[in-house]
Amino acid sequence: MINNRIRQLLEFLQEEPSDAFSAYALGLEYLKMNNLPAAEAVLSDLLNRSPEYLAGYYQLGKVYEVLKNREKAIKVYDHGIQLAKAQQNGHTLAELQNARMNLLIDDE
């Protein structure tokens, strides 16, 4: 089932495939619907096309956590952490570091 928001975002992306914000928003919509395969596909594609889109790393890492793929989650968080440092984005850096740390604590 495709809701109106998803339909609208798909239309935006059809018109402008490189629109990183619309791709990110689409990934979040799929995540809200608990459609993890679609969220993973959209967010992975987003980061392949726009690797500087920092917010995508946190959300993709969360998808991998829910999918119980700890290794992929850590890899995504690590990549995002390096990018956040390079972009000097302290807020997102802290979010990514906390997500990574919580994943490791939960694993103990």
User: Domain 4-107: which topology?
Assistant: 1.25.40
Under the banding of pLDDT at 50, 70 and 90, the label for residue 108 is low
Sequence spans of domains, the chain: 4-107
The tokens of 4 are what?
A: 């109106």
Residue 1: pLDDT above 60?
Answer: no
Asked if residues 43 and 56 have their Cβ atoms less than 8 Å apart, the reply is yes
Give the whole-angstrom CA distance, residue 50 versus residue 25. 14
Largest CA distance in the chain: 46
Give the whole-angstrom CA distance, residue 57 versus residue 51. 9
Q: What pLDDT is attached to residue 105?
A: 86
The pTM of the full predicted model, rounded to 2 decimals, is 0.91
Q: What pLDDT is attached to residue 57?
A: 98
pLDDT tens digit sequence for 14-68: 999 999 999 999 999 999 999 999 999 999 999 999 999 999 999 999 999 999 9
Q: What pLDDT is attached to residue 104?
A: 86
Tell me which amino acid residue 7 is. R
In the numeric block, the tokens 């798909």 are attached to: 10
Q: What pLDDT is attached to residue 14?
A: 95
